[in-house]
Structure 1
Amino acid sequence: MKILSVDDSKMVHMVVAKALKNYDVEHISAMNGEEGVAKASSEKPDLILMDITMPVMTGLEAVTKLKADPATAGIPIVMLTAESATDSQTFAFEQGVEKYLTKPFGEDILIATLSSLIPLAPKAA
């Protein structure tokens, strides 16, 4: 299982990695939308966590590209963003985003959201 987090904040990547540490998941990170689109195409993650406001390419632009490409269109995307604007949420859902979480979020909410979209298996002891 692979999860790609796309965010320009290293802190968010650390929070996601910490939340996933007890699960059998490979965590891949990208620092902007352009890098996220490239990694999604090459790594074929099972799920993508996407910020909206990033340099180079925004999360909404990246989602539009990912959902337009047959190779990545089926990957579930969860927006993780501090932006709670209704128009951004509406646009994200229109583009095919499955879930929208507003920062800050707790690890339990993140894991529950991910588990609703993909099977998260605990790491073997």
Structure 2
Amino acid sequence: MPIKILSVDDSKTIRMLVAKAFRPYDAVVLEAGNGEEGLATAAREKPDLIILDVTMPVMDGVTMLTRLKENPELKHIPVVMLTAESGRENVMHIARLGARDYLVKPFKEDQLIGKVSRIISLQPKPGATAPAS
């Protein structure tokens, strides 16, 4: 059974990059364009991991992460935050809120796969070989 990854970002380009990174793996990538959509999708789909942008309209990633961690049914889902800011204060704040890891934009596919594979097990698609990392 494929793992479910939810990509929450207001940039369609970033969501496409995330989906492309996981193509060689037995994974389904779900998408949401803001935190509000992301929370609704997380509640409905119960993904195995969420890749969450910090800065978005409607509901930002920090608010979504906070609400996710307050929800008993969703708080166990690991979250990797995507941020344009790598400052220590920003990273510490995200960690205190419960994010498992973070990735600074722009990022490379292998960086994303590396962070995610330390949190959940990524398996190559049946009949495919995963790229060497």
TM tier, smaller: over 0.9
8 A Cα contact 1:7 1:13, kept in partner: yes
The alignment of Structure 1 onto Structure 2 pairs a total of residues equal to 125
Gapped runs of 5+ residues in structure 2?
A: 128-133
8 A Cα contact 1:52 1:83, kept in partner: no
TM-score, normalised relative to structure 1: 0.97
The alpha-carbon deviation at position 84 of structure 1 amounts to 2.3
Residue matched to 1:46:
48
Letter in 2 for 1:17: A
Gapped runs of 5+ residues in structure 1?
A: none
- Picking from 59, 68, 71, the partner of 2:70 is 68
RMSD: 0.8
Larger Rg: 2
Residue matched to 1:82:
84
Which SS does the other structure have where 2:93 is aligned? helix
Give the Cα separation in 2 of the matches to 1:86 and 1:52: 15
Residue matched to 2:36:
34
TM-score, normalised relative to structure 2: 0.91
Letter in 2 for 1:11: T
User: Runs of at least 4 residues of structure 1 off by over 2 A?
Assistant: 83-88
Q: Percent identity, aligned pairs only? A: 52
